[in-house]
Structure 1
Amino acid sequence: MAENTHVVVVGGGYAGVMAANRLTQRDDVAVTLVNPRTAFVHRVRLHQLVGGSDAAVVDYREVLAEGVRLVAGTVARIDPGARRVTLASGGTVGYDYLVYAVGSGSADPDVPGAAEFAHPIATLEEARRLRPVLDAAPKTAAVTVVGAGPTGIETAAELAEQGRAVTLVCGGVLGPYLHTRGRRSVAGRLAALGVSVLDGSRATVTAVTRRAVRLADGREVPSDVTVWTAGFGVPDLAARSGLSTDAVGRLLTDETLTSVDDDRIVAAGDSAAPSGLPLRMSCQAAMPLGARAADTVLSLIAGERPEPLKQSFGAQCISLGRRTGIFQFGNRSDVAVWLHVDGRLGARMKEAVCKGILKHLSDEAHRPGGYRLHRSKGNTSRQKALDAQQAPVRATTRPAA
């Protein structure tokens, strides 16, 4: 009997769980998921953890296939030559193929005082550290949220709905992805909640102190609690392991998500940079990328040609407290269009998306191979960028391990 092919998935977020589940289609493939936590983090609910309306964690038994071995640990280094990963604890795990899905977290802020006095919330641990800080602060305490992407908007609305005095510092445009009409809707809801929105190029944070946020135009915004949601970064595991990365640290791959350095390593999610043209960091991209990564590995095992990436988008949804939200439609190239749904229906649509994410993962755990959203018509703008840089799709084949 042929020995099983062992696939190690590094990272147990949306992309990693989708890839691990999908890999169980073959009985001769053994899958190990290495993740620092023993519970799945439902990251799109971290702002609710900060606001106290959700724990933002789910038991892995609800989303992970029974056949996947879960190893709780942090990977300190990947050794492509030996085909093994070394854990921070000192142990090692060997592999025949590896799926690199380490995700993203808070970017290191280069603003003076931000690292010391501001609270990031991109990870479960960060959100959990902020929660007691807010609990200890009086309701009259000034709260400043820095960054006006989805996380910043959702956090500001969540806290304002509780009656807190919230200022949202955009550092540019409120909701950069949103269409003008959608932006007006979000601004109106934030105003109704009492959020003070500071936007424009001069509303850029230049320093954070214990009790204030300083802006580029000289203003000083009082802030007893400063929440930092501006920007994301990726772990430096790939770089530390001697693998090629982009300037941010994402693993460089071809259009099949295979590493440009090693055809036994495939990337997925926020930490992947296919052809140096990474997709927007989001759950909407992560799960299809996880499915595509798994399909690439399965093709390589079978000695077949992997299919190239075909990734498209459709919308972005943002909650505005527990009672309202916005569902902003977009085209396949991830450009917002005039159509959006807001108000209570927008909130219900956002909640349906949050629940649907877990259902996609659970369905793939029980019926691997059933997920289809990564087989779209593709992103026309991205294809034009590929054509412009003349980046060929590398067709990599390998015999079964």
Structure 2
Amino acid sequence: MKHRIVVLGAGYAGAFAAGNLARRLSPDDTEITVVNAVPDFVERMRLHLLAAGRDLAFRKLADVFAGTGVRLRLARVTGVDPERKTVAVTGEDGDGEVVYDTLLYALGSSAAHHDVPGVPEYAFDVTGQFPALRLRERLAALDGGGTVLVVGEGLTGIETATEFAESRPDLSVALAARGEPGAWLSPRARRHLRRAFDRLGVTVHEDAGIQAVEPTRAITAHGRSIAADVTVWSAGFAVHPVAAASGLEVAETGQIVVDRTMRSVSHPDVYAAGDCAYAIGENGRPLPMSCASAGYTGMQATAAIIARLTGGEVPVTGLKYYGNHISLGRRDAIFQMVDGDVRAKSWYLGGRTAARLKSGVLRGAGWSIAHPTFGMPKRKRRLATAPDRAGVQAAA
């Protein structure tokens, strides 16, 4: 029988990993299946642009994996049984199971509501294709003079607020922050960010943690009311509870606890990559949920799976951050370099040059995933014999 590799999720981490596994492993003895809820490769870093009204063409996963041998199953994951090595799914064809020998769990994350009243009922977010389209429709219905409140001072909140303000100058856009937006940036970069907010007309409410969301306003922890025809929730990410319910060892965040090679510490046939992996970076801290983490963990998981299945030595890829890249509308951005402890260096790049760099990064990430056969080796690696694989895994 062929070794069955199942990849759950086809975001940045899952799609990249599936393409690389197909590129490097022989189809004679491996079978790769990707399970994803939607038919498109959704570039999450562009979803705030989609919500703002920009026309974005997402690639079909069927086209992405065409010619690779990767099987695509459009379905939603409802459970994982690591003892039986099965994944429960539901889709247009009804309920079913997918059996695996090696599982790569890359289901990503969604908006973290933090149990704030009113968020599920009244707030919008940009963490998925359908939520972004729902927000796009709501914004399009707003007349001039409408108010939009973006909650959250992180990268997503800043990018969303500035994009909305630039795309819809007829709206009043505000940002609610628990502290100072961009507080982790260097002093010069923070000044650049402030100038961008002023230029775009974004009103910043500091010390404004939101404790409730209502249809036309948000209430801060101090009881202050902020008017909002539309509230956009960008106050962090949360992973799906299916991993915790499966019996896999998870952290308090619900993320799967993995070793340095992205292998589950409780179930050696399971790997995790992207936001759902609780991985420790080179600075000794958990990797944040981000596209960069998806790239690092996806590369490490792929390399580890290939090495262990083919009897090779498991390589170690880097888990080190070099900087934060923040879009401030279409013609401005900040690229902030950081040190080994993820503290901002004094140097930063801003303006149109940084915006062009960010655009290049986005295009590069999308292109690499959309062309999984690029650089395909003439000879793919064959799997070790079953006894050899068992020995390699036991030694690992």
Smaller-chain TM-score range?
0.7 to 0.9
Residue 34 of structure 1 corresponds to 35
1:52-98: CA deviation from partner (whole Å, max 9, x where unpaired)? 11436222256446221111011212222222212123211111101
Distance in 1 of aligned mates of 2:392 and 2:100 = 18
Letter aligned with residue 25 of structure 2: R
CA deviation after TM superposition for structure 1 residue 134, in Å: 0.7
Q: Is the 8 A contact 1:63 1:365 kept in 2?
A: no
Letter aligned with residue 210 of structure 1: P
Letter aligned with residue 286 of structure 1: A
Identical aligned pairs, as a percentage?
38
CA deviation after TM superposition for structure 1 residue 368, in Å: 5.1
Q: Is the 8 A contact 2:59 2:370 kept in 1?
A: no
Instruction: Give the 3-state SS of the residue equivalent to 1:157 in structure 2.
Output: helix
CA deviation after TM superposition for structure 1 residue 120, in Å: 2.0
Letter aligned with residue 39 of structure 2: T
Residue 18 of structure 1 corresponds to 16
Residue 253 of structure 2 corresponds to 248
Q: 1:286 aligned to 285, 290, 294, which one?
A: 294
Query: For structure 1, which runs of at least 5 residues remain unmatched after alignment?
Result: 370-395
Q: Is the 8 A contact 1:45 1:54 kept in 2?
A: no
CA deviation after TM superposition for structure 1 residue 305, in Å: 4.4
Q: Is the 8 A contact 2:62 2:72 kept in 1?
A: no
1:196-247: CA deviation from partner (whole Å, max 9, x where unpaired)? 1112xx3211222221122233321111111111010001121121111001
Corresponding pairs, count: 370
Residue 177 of structure 2 corresponds to 170
CA deviation after TM superposition for structure 1 residue 110, in Å: 1.8
Q: Is the 8 A contact 1:48 1:56 kept in 2?
A: no
Distance in 2 of aligned mates of 1:329 and 1:364 = 30
Q: 2:331 aligned to 317, 323, 329, which one?
A: 323
Q: 1:56 to 1:105 in 2, by over 3 A?
A: farther
CA deviation after TM superposition for structure 1 residue 360, in Å: 2.7
1:250-294: CA deviation from partner (whole Å, max 9, x where unpaired)? 011111111111111111111001369531111111022111111
Residue 222 of structure 2 corresponds to 217
> What TM-score do the two structures reach when normalised by structure 1?
0.87
CA deviation after TM superposition for structure 1 residue 190, in Å: 0.9
> What TM-score do the two structures reach when normalised by structure 2?
0.88
Distance in 1 of aligned mates of 2:351 and 2:285 = 35
Q: 1:310 to 1:75 in 2, by over 3 A?
A: same
Distance in 1 of aligned mates of 2:324 and 2:63 = 25
Distance in 1 of aligned mates of 2:79 and 2:62 = 27
Letter aligned with residue 74 of structure 1: R
Letter aligned with residue 20 of structure 2: R
Q: 2:352 aligned to 344, 357, 360, which one?
A: 344
Residue 366 of structure 1 corresponds to 374
CA deviation after TM superposition for structure 1 residue 103, in Å: 0.7
Letter aligned with residue 20 of structure 1: A
Report the more deviating stretch, 304-313 or 222-231. Answer: 304-313
| 2:151 maps to 1:155 | no
Q: Which runs of 4+ in 1 moved over 6 A?
A: none
Residue 146 of structure 1 corresponds to 151
1:323-357: CA deviation from partner (whole Å, max 9, x where unpaired)? 21222222344332122221111211111111011
Q: Is the 8 A contact 1:140 1:165 kept in 2?
A: yes
CA deviation after TM superposition for structure 1 residue 131, in Å: 1.0
Residue 393 of structure 2 corresponds to 398
Q: 1:329 to 1:368 in 2, by over 3 A?
A: farther
Residue 377 of structure 1 corresponds to none
CA deviation after TM superposition for structure 1 residue 187, in Å: 1.3
Residue 127 of structure 1 corresponds to 132
Report the more deviating stretch, 214-223 or 46-55. Answer: 214-223
Letter aligned with residue 58 of structure 2: V
Distance in 2 of aligned mates of 1:8 and 1:245 = 20
Q: 1:287 to 1:85 in 2, by over 3 A?
A: same
User: RMSD of aligned C-alpha atoms?
Assistant: 2.1
CA deviation after TM superposition for structure 1 residue 107, in Å: 0.9
